[in-house]
Structure 1
């Protein structure tokens, strides 16, 4: 791949363009908002001038509802040898393109499973896709050259290619992305008019659950409008679980001992089902999840604190598998939770104490 055209210079399009530029590809940028394309160009993602002729690959990075129209226009103008889109829904756009009577041998639907709560070119990064799955949905009609160009793009972005059927992909992202977005937003919505005294008690748990609720609503309306059926089916199942949980919790208020036992059993079953589902979430580097122990360290909110902790852990020969920070409400301090292999806990704890760190249980 020597040349590419990125149509849509938001977070995903600009990030892909930055990665391609780093690999020496000449990238042309276009957007319905010329100012956004100029911003992406100023960030080093390519040029906002039109190519002189057909490029090797056109990357359509617009919301799902606009993919068919943008792709159809690009293909009719023969802007590239191959065409892909990076929208988060795959089945619907392909059927819309088929209805337009286009030659789809040169088209491949793809979806990089990466993103951020922020959108737009200023949020873009060349390493956004590194180590992340990038779904490819070829059919028997997909031209081999187009598939190779898509694989080259995935390689340049240092992502991991995953081949799936388009409709299977849509059901999968409904489960792992679209439905969780709505549930997170619903939980966060409970905080909007909550008493200030209650909100001040927010800890890491509520921060984790509501993190993605900060996402752009306009972007999510586009996504959910393109995949409503699978998401509605999943929410219906969640609603059934919620109804069961409500009945069980009401039973726990009963004066009838048998009802309380039944309610407790139902709640426990729900929590254990959650345990079983959580275990299936891939762990570090996509491997099977592993059980780590936590070493919690109290730190001041000052420059260099994290660097010192990591350096001291490294000096003790301990690999930090993961890290989380829980901030203390209203204080310039917090807890750094270092996730390590169970056998590393005593060694790391002793080393950190020797270096003056205050550990917490």
Structure 2
């Protein structure tokens, strides 16, 4: 495919000014694209506009590209309505399900030659335009799933859109996409919600003992349930397949744990699942999409005061060591916490020594 010129997208319409839609708008605005905004909630449009995401859509057009940022079950009807009004030359969406919108769009008689289904693999546990960021998609995979009828120009425009937003364009078959996100996104969300649901009735003692582990596992469970109900219903079969396999694993481990008193060998089933978990974790792509790496962790005690984290990062920079990742864990009831600095193993000693020389309390687990 011959790359299109940057001038191919001079104007865009974003329908749905939630987290993803507003983030797309902000990213396009940074490249000088004139962006129009529409949403059934006037307050959401107003906030997105105040954030600098664009201007109100009052009809007219057509714009170069329309981005449909609504729940999956509404994508096809929104596409039909926009095409009837000739709102744009090319259309895409950002829903996390692809088979359902494409099937429904075909059934409604939408023009699939000008529609390229899309899905940026980025998000946050927070929702709404206030959580939007122009750099939300930077370096993130962005799947696009053109139907056989899709015109080459339409595909080229959507690839340019992805590039303008900083995403990494990945062409994938719609059914394969839905099976993939069931494994890496949808089923994990349900699993996180199931773990978090156990906390609803947990004792104060249990909650007082909670650490970073439970926060990591349950973070995404704070997302909007109504939004996720629509996503899960649109990808029901593939998600159910993953959850059934997960339930089988958990049931086997539960049975093995109950059998331990009379059969110590049952522990092998537990070890087997934990070992498979290590293998699976190791297959998650690492930094810049490369192979996963094992990093050393340098733990630094940090005060819960303004400027402390910036001071720590500056001190780390003075050691000449690159920080690959950073996580914070607060100490319940105390005005301090621990910053976990992830570095290449060979750099751990230099960072530890350098920070200690600069007065930081450091340890390596």
Could you tell me which residue of structure 2 aligns to residue 131 of structure 1?
A: 139
Q: Output the CA distance in 2 between the equivalents of 1:169 and 1:352.
A: 45
SS of structure 2 residue aligned to 1:13? helix
Could you tell me which residue of structure 2 aligns to residue 248 of structure 1?
A: 256
* Aligned counterpart in structure 1 of residue 235 of structure 2, from 218, 227, 236: 227
Q: Output the CA distance in 1 between the equivalents of 2:225 and 2:179.
A: 21
Matched, 1:216 2:224: yes
Matched, 1:172 2:180: yes
Matched, 1:87 2:87: no
Task: Answer yes or no: is the 8 Å Cα contact 2:71–2:230 preserved in 1.
Answer: yes
Task: Answer yes or no: is the 8 Å Cα contact 1:131–1:158 preserved in 2.
Answer: yes
Task: Answer yes or no: is the 8 Å Cα contact 2:329–2:338 preserved in 1.
Answer: yes
SS of structure 2 residue aligned to 1:142? coil
Q: TM-score, normalised by structure 2?
A: 0.95
Moved more, 56-65 or 33-42: 33-42
* Aligned counterpart in structure 2 of residue 9 of structure 1, from 12, 17, 25: 17
Could you tell me which residue of structure 1 aligns to residue 68 of structure 2?
A: 60
SS of structure 1 residue aligned to 2:252? helix
> What's the CA shift string for 1:215-270, capped at 9, x where partnerless?
01011011111111100111000110011001110012x2x3xx112x11111111
Q: Output the CA distance in 1 between the equivalents of 2:309 and 2:326.
A: 10
Matched, 1:117 2:110: no
Could you tell me which residue of structure 2 aligns to residue 30 of structure 1?
A: 38
Q: Output the CA distance in 2 between the equivalents of 1:154 and 1:49.
A: 22
Could you tell me which residue of structure 2 aligns to residue 48 of structure 1?
A: 56
Q: Output the CA distance in 2 between the equivalents of 1:322 and 1:228.
A: 34
* Aligned counterpart in structure 2 of residue 271 of structure 1, from 270, 274, 291: 274
Task: Answer yes or no: is the 8 Å Cα contact 1:28–1:51 preserved in 2.
Answer: no
Task: Answer yes or no: is the 8 Å Cα contact 1:106–1:142 preserved in 2.
Answer: yes
Q: Output the CA distance in 1 between the equivalents of 2:325 and 2:168.
A: 21
Question: Any unmatched runs of 5+ in structure 2?
Answer: 1-8
Q: Output the CA distance in 2 between the equivalents of 1:347 and 1:56.
A: 52
Task: Answer yes or no: is the 8 Å Cα contact 1:85–1:111 preserved in 2.
Answer: yes
Stretches of 4+ aligned residues off by more than 3 angstroms: none
Moved more, 141-150 or 157-166: 141-150
Could you tell me which residue of structure 1 aligns to residue 356 of structure 2?
A: 353
> What's the CA shift string for 1:255-286, capped at 9, x where partnerless?
x3xx112x111111110000000000111111
Could you tell me which residue of structure 2 aligns to residue 189 of structure 1?
A: 197
Q: Output the CA distance in 2 between the equivalents of 1:342 and 1:39.
A: 45
Q: Output the CA distance in 2 between the equivalents of 1:104 and 1:279.
A: 39
Count residues with an aligned counterpart.
356
Displacement after TM superposition at 1:51 (Å): 4.1
Could you tell me which residue of structure 1 aligns to residue 165 of structure 2?
A: 157
* Aligned counterpart in structure 1 of residue 327 of structure 2, from 324, 338, 348: 324
Q: Output the CA distance in 1 between the equivalents of 2:259 and 2:264.
A: 5
Q: Output the CA distance in 2 between the equivalents of 1:340 and 1:103.
A: 50
Task: Answer yes or no: is the 8 Å Cα contact 2:72–2:230 preserved in 1.
Answer: yes
Matched, 1:260 2:264: yes
Q: Output the CA distance in 1 between the equivalents of 2:62 and 2:349.
A: 61
Matched, 1:338 2:341: yes
* Aligned counterpart in structure 1 of residue 148 of structure 2, from 128, 133, 140: 140
Question: Any unmatched runs of 5+ in structure 1?
Answer: none
Displacement after TM superposition at 1:65 (Å): 0.6
Q: Output the CA distance in 1 between the equivalents of 2:28 and 2:58.
A: 17
Task: Answer yes or no: is the 8 Å Cα contact 1:283–1:290 preserved in 2.
Answer: yes
Displacement after TM superposition at 1:49 (Å): 3.3
> What's the CA shift string for 1:129-188, capped at 9, x where partnerless?
111111011233211111111111111111111110011001111110000000000001
Task: Answer yes or no: is the 8 Å Cα contact 1:29–1:50 preserved in 2.
Answer: no
Could you tell me which residue of structure 2 aligns to residue 302 of structure 1?
A: 305
Could you tell me which residue of structure 2 aligns to residue 288 of structure 1?
A: 291
Moved more, 159-168 or 321-330: 321-330
